[in-house]
Homo-oligomer: A and B are copies of this chain.
Amino acid sequence: MIGYGFMGAAHSQAWRTAPRVFDLPRDVEMAVIVGRNQEAVADAAAKWGWQESATDWRDIVTRDDIDIVDIVTPGHSHHEIAIAALKAGKHVLCEKPLANSGEDADAMAEAARESSAKAMLGFTYRRVPALTRARDLIAEGKVGNVQQVRAAYRQDWLVDPEAPLSWRLQKDLAGHGALGDIGAHAIDLVQFLTGLSVTKVSGVIDTIVKERPVETERVGIAGKGGDEKAPVTVDDVAIFTGRLENGALAAFEATRFATGRKNELSVEISGDKGAIAFNLESLNELHVYDLTADELGQGFTRVLVTEPGHPYLEGWWPTGHMLGYEHAFSHQVKDFVDAIANDTIPTPTFDDGVQVQRVLDAVEASSDDDSRWVQI
């Protein structure tokens, strides 16, 4: 695993847990964790259960005893690491966003297509059981023809003007701001759930707090910074509309300024036979509307997606015992290992990531061009 921030913790938990919960076709060993700060990464290794730590990923991704490279670094470094690993024949699990530019993303997708190894992108929310279930229902035709979509990812951790200028707020490191970090999830989810691509977008991005305190030390999560300030070079908020390939409109919002909303990823897919609605703040619930039911009995049905027959639930607890945020990471490990063992193509692919990257870039281009529609 390359990287050891918040995502490193989540991925470590998944590598440790998945083999104990699911019947994986392969044994998993947590071999090496890599980070630039020798002491910090050694601590992370000890804490999270990795056998070794190292400071240069180049030494690791070619090692014979390494089969899988899991990349959880900031987006700007994905490109170099992933391509090197794939060229070395290693299977690659890469955190989103795929890359910080369309060019880098294309190169990564090409490397993935050319490699005999497997490549998978970490749009983890696809594997929240309620969302996997939603995708299945939509694929079965339960909402009918998709006619309208809304998706939003709303947080509020930047409302405080003293929240520091972390790497997530610097364009050269993060690529995009709220748009790329959380808006990307909303875009991927809509495409995943409906099976329809976004073909063009019109939108606007904005930076509400223009400069912030420079961080004095590395922090995984936003903390208070020092006196010195520097410009925020990414967006705080993005509002955009997409046209799906079947003609339906999709309203998107990504923001870190939705006061009081901590981690609200919500999506609603409306069709001519029904609808589904989901909110990450109630992540075990899927709300399903059946327009073909008796008219006097119609309503959103709150399905607790914790039944043994629901996706991924075979590994967990009895009915009604709630799953949390990190469970989807274990599902990701399970599916990735399954794909390696069965020689199938794991999804989301790097091509899926390229598509999302293109949407992100198109939103930014639209915003720069008076919000005119930009083709993807």
Copies of the protein in its oligomer = 4
Would you call B322 and A325 a contact (CB within 8 A)?
yes
Chain B CB within 8 A of A73 CB:
no
Whether A253 contacts B255 in the complex (CB less than 8 A), given A20-B49, A307-B296, A325-B321, comes out as no
Residue of B nearest to A283 (CB): B322
| Cα(A95)–Cα(B270), bound, Å | 30
Q: Given A148-B257, A372-B370, are A263 and B320 neighbors across the interface (CB < 8 Å)? A: yes
Stretch from A187-195, A273-281, A332-340, A348-356 forming part of the interface with B: A273-281
Distance in angstroms between the alpha carbons of A152 and B202 in the assembled complex:
18
Give the nearest-CB partner of A325 in chain B: B321
User: Number of A residues contacting the other chain (C-beta, 8 Å)?
Assistant: 90
Q: Judge if A97 is at the interface, Cβ distance under 8 Å.
A: no
A267 CB-CB contact with B under 8 Å: no
Cβ–Cβ contact B303 & A299, under 8 A: yes
- Most chain B C-beta atoms within 10 Å of own C-beta, residue among A150, A299, A302, A308: A299
A159 touches B272 (CB 8 A): yes
User: Are B281's CB and A159's CB within 8 A?
Assistant: no
Q: Which residue of B lies closest to A142 (CB)?
A: B297
> Contact at B237–A260, with CB atoms within 8 Å?
no
Q: Does A53 contact B (CB under 8 A)?
A: no
Known A148-B237, A204-B202: A260·B281 in contact at CB below 8 Å: no
A84 within 8 A of B: no
CA distance A221 to B309 in the complex (A): 13
Q: Are B295 and A275 in contact (CB under 8 A)?
A: no
Is A310 part of the binding interface, using a Cβ–Cβ cutoff of 8 Å? yes
Closest to A270 in B: B259
